[in-house]
Chains A and B, each alone.
Chain A
Amino acid sequence: MSMRGRLATVIGLFLVAVALAGWGVVSFIRPGVPGGVMDFTQGHAAGQPVDLTAQTVGAIGFGPHPTWVSYLVKDPSTGKWVQDTTWKLPANSVIDMTILQYDSGSPLRNQEWGQVQGTIGGTATLNGTSYSAYNSNTGTGVGHTFTVPALGLSVPLIGVNSSDSVCGSAPCMTSSPHNTITFSFKTPGPGSYSWQCFVPCGLGYLFGNGGPMSTLNYMGGQLEVVQ
């Protein structure tokens, strides 16, 4: 083979290697956030509160892990339920959050997370009734928590009665038994704040913290707070 031929061979092989690496990046170590970012800043007027509605479901029912427990969020522009836990929020604004809890509950591993912390007024409402702490060892227990550690925000989401016909797969409709939890909190300055659930709800994993608890878009995500 001539030198030019060998050069072409090497460059060709190199391009193949680059293509393979690129394919590897896109397939396995994809940058950015799978599922995208749910934007709550569009059309937001300064000083106005933002409405954010989410639901939790015992089994997502679709995608690569249909048995996994998951959060879903209501797209503010289309009103559709989307499996996406990265939310873009305006800075220094009040977020009025509504969570429809469709999952059943259990005692918390650490009762510390049974307290409502960091919300405006230090309380949340459960189906219209205000509460500031919930003993997860009694009643229907706590299904999940919505906790943003860096903001000191934590709200226990009281589980539905597991003897009821719990909604099996997402998205759940309000005809299924559910608890409506509402609370408000104020976003800080711009930054990225992770949020997660503190109920070890990853079924089939040691300490219940694997699987959905350790994967973005199920039981944890980021609040991207922007100016």
Chain B
Amino acid sequence: MTISAEPTTEVVTSAVVPPSSPVKTPWSQRSGWLSQHLGTAIVGAVLGYVFGHWLGNYVASGYTYIANSGQNSIADALALIFMTFGWLLGIGALNYPLAKIVGRSAPEEVIAKGWTKYVRYSTDHKVVGMQYIVGVLLFLFTGGLLAMAIRTELLNPTTHVFSADTYIKIVSEHGTIMMMMATSIIVGPLGNYLVPLMIGARRMAFPRIEAFSFWVFIAGYMVIFSALPYGGFPTGWTGYAPLQTQAGPGMVSYLLGFAVIGLGMMAAGFNIAVTIINYRAPGMTWSRVPIFVWSLLATAALLTLATPVLFAGGLFGLLDKTAQTAFYVTEHGGSSFLWENLFWFFGHPEVYIMALPGFGIVGELIPVFCRKPLFAYKVAAAGMIGVALLSFFVWQHHLFQSGINPDMRPLFMLTTELISIPTGFIFLVGMGTLYRAKIRFEVPMLFCMAVFFNFLIGGITGVFLSDVPVNVTVHGGFFVLSHFHYTIMGGLLFAFMGGLYYWLPKMTGRMMNKKLGLVHFWTMLVFFNLTFFPMFIIGLLGQPRRVFTYAKNLQGLNDFSSVSAFLLGASFLVFLVNFMWSMYINPVMAPANPWDSLGLEWQTATPVPSYNFERIPVIMTDPYHYGEVGAPALADFGDGPPAPLGSSSTTGSDPA
């Protein structure tokens, strides 16, 4: 059995496609509106929601604490669970596994033509990549609007735009949506789209799991967004218990939202790791794997290993909130430290899930624009793996002042500071590549340089935070807030933008407008720094996080930060205008290789054919031979022997 994304045009693999001549096309395989697509997914979600809510009310409305509080979190939880289930059923994600469970032959996913493939359950990694772009932008802009609301409230220490409960609800929703976005913003769109192209494969290892990870990601958006109509949750994105146990039904959306998103993270991570390990083209040895792929491998390992902890922790919280268990409630035998430990045991690897793909993009892009090989490739790869490993041993630095065992503090100070060694490798690699280069300052390159600028500040302030004595001053204040915005937004988001400007010509065949791109870059860089740098000072001057009132003498700095934040928001509108203008309204066709890249992904046709490579390339060397006269060709695309059956990465037994 192969999957339908397999190239039927290819002689070698078409032989294994079973002869299929069904008299009647099954419903799930039809194209057109009478089949499964976004519309049926929405119908499924609505029906699931209504059923779950009814069930919860039917079962639980008589429980004493529910009757007393007047809020039925059991009904809300069941509604969201059945909504997610209905959504996946409606889009067709469950056709294959359900058929397998009952022992029927599993239906193939239909390959739709034209734009409608983007609103379907598609097993083509390129379609999933494009779907993910829309998905992460949905998260990004929702979270961004909430950030504007936060900065509006902080314009004045005593005059309030939002009431106290609304403000905390906004802060919590902003943090959670952005964290969920950041786990997927590079892995989802660029990872799914580019990994097979960069390693010379025809598809991901598990195309259905890949599609599942995207649709579950969107279900996660609906679940976390439902917190707002449910009245929000008051805990911030860290969701500390027992406040989470005390909160209203919006908390259910948070706990379940992380569980749903977590499913997608685990699925995506597992899929990417297996793909990179098993689907590399012949000759793609570990020393020839592009550095972006290395970063995704490290990220995928973290996604696969760290997320289950969050998943379990969230379910414990959900049980506390609905079934009256007491994992996190001290008085009934639980512990408020349990959530803190579980959450940060996931949460700190999570931080590197949000940093490593950005490093990968930077490492991948700078050689192209420096016209020089990547410097210290092995150090870069080792650094990423080192960060991934160490990231599991640092989580208690979030708990330095929490009353943990006091002699744990020097240990976690040490591990935390150790992690800056492999993190520093990316600077060695970057600076070494810049050395005596011939730098082309295209928009993607500018974003990469900005990553070095921002992440340096973010990284160094991280050393301040890891120092236990200094941590007493800066923990829980605006200093740490600014620190992680510098790493996540200044690092990851800038890298994502660089990656988009760089790879969109490959993904869509259309160039982003350079002038608008420059406006976008400079406004984003300047106003990002003007927004967040003052927050270091605000934090040092004693403003805690997540407060709607602050000391009067901090108003000047807060106002400066707020106004800059609004302009930073405007720079995202510039991006949006550029994106819509260049991709849809007035597209300019891109040259086949606009950046003169040597990467494998640029060596195939644009638009990328559904089978990616006509023949599986045989990789001859690494993709960084910039500026080298007489450098060997990257790969043998056709003259070499066609991939024999069984040895090529695309023709194993079907694992999905």
Contact = CB atoms under 8 A, between A and B. Distances in A.
A65 B161 contact: no
Contacts of A33: 160, 163
Contact of A206 (B70, B169, B245, B585): B245
A84 to B, nearest CB: 12
Given A10-B584, A207-B246, A210-B69, A27 B163 contact: no
B68 A203 contact: yes
Contacts of A206: 242, 245-246, 329
Contacts of B165: 214-216
A210 B251 CA distance: 12
Nearest to A85: B163
A33 B228 CA distance: 16
A204 interface: yes
B329 A211 contact: no
Contacts of A194: 164
A204 B72 CA distance: 11
A68 interface: yes
B586 A211 contact: no
A214 B248 contact: yes
B184 to A, nearest CB: 21
Of the candidates B161, B329, B580, B586, the one having the most CB atoms from chain A within 10 angstroms of its own CB is B580
Nearest to B162: A31
Interface residues of B, number: 39
A206 B317 CA distance: 13
Contact of A29 (B64, B169, B585): B169
A7 interface: yes
B291 to A, nearest CB: 36
A170 to B, nearest CB: 15
Contact of A6 (B68, B149, B170, B585): B585
Nearest to B145: A21
Given A10-B580, A207-B246, A214 B234 contact: yes
A191 to B, nearest CB: 5
Contacts of B160: 33, 192, 222
Given A7-B585, A29-B149, A67 B69 contact: yes
Interface string B546-586: 00010000000000000000000000000000001000111
Nearest to A67: B70
A85 B530 CA distance: 38
Contacts of B158: 190-192
Contacts of B146: 29
Interface string B137-154: 000000001100100100
B159 interface: yes
Nearest to A207: B246
B375 to A, nearest CB: 42
B332 to A, nearest CB: 10
A212 B339 CA distance: 25
A35 B64 CA distance: 30
A153 B234 CA distance: 26
Contacts of B71: 65, 204, 211
Contacts of A171: none
Nearest to A208: B246
A205 B69 contact: yes
B163 A210 contact: no
A102 B529 CA distance: 55
A65 to B, nearest CB: 5
Interface residues of A, number: 37
A74 B241 CA distance: 38
Q: Which of A24, A28, A68 has the most CB of B within 10 A?
A: A28
Contacts of B246: 205-207, 209-210, 214
Interface string B253-270: 000000000000000000
Interface in A12-37: 21, 24-25, 27-34
Contacts of A121: none
A66 interface: yes
A68 B70 contact: yes
A28 B228 contact: yes
A29 B70 contact: no
A65 B69 CA distance: 8
Interface in B30-76: 64-71
Given A7-B585, A10-B585, A28-B228, A204 B163 contact: no
Contacts of A28: 228-229, 232
B166 interface: yes
Nearest to B159: A192
Interface in B204-246: 228-229, 231-232, 234, 242, 245-246
Given A3-B586, A191-B158, A216-B165, A211 B228 contact: no
A31 B242 contact: no
Contact of A216 (B64, B70, B152, B163): B163
Nearest to B230: A28
B161 A31 contact: yes
A202 interface: yes
A27 B229 contact: yes
B119 interface: no
Contacts of A205: 69, 246
B163 A34 contact: yes
A106 B74 CA distance: 29
14 contacts: A6-B584, A6-B586, A7-B585, A10-B585, A24-B228, A34-B163, A192-B160, A202-B69, A205-B69, A206-B245, A207-B242, A207-B246, A209-B246, A222-B160
Interface of A: 3, 6-7, 10, 21, 24-25, 27-34, 65-68, 86, 190-192, 194, 202-207, 209-211, 214-216, 222
Given A192-B158, A215-B165, A216-B165, 14 more contacts: A25-B149, A27-B229, A28-B229, A31-B152, A32-B162, A33-B163, A67-B67, A68-B70, A86-B163, A209-B246, A211-B69, A214-B234, A216-B163, A222-B164
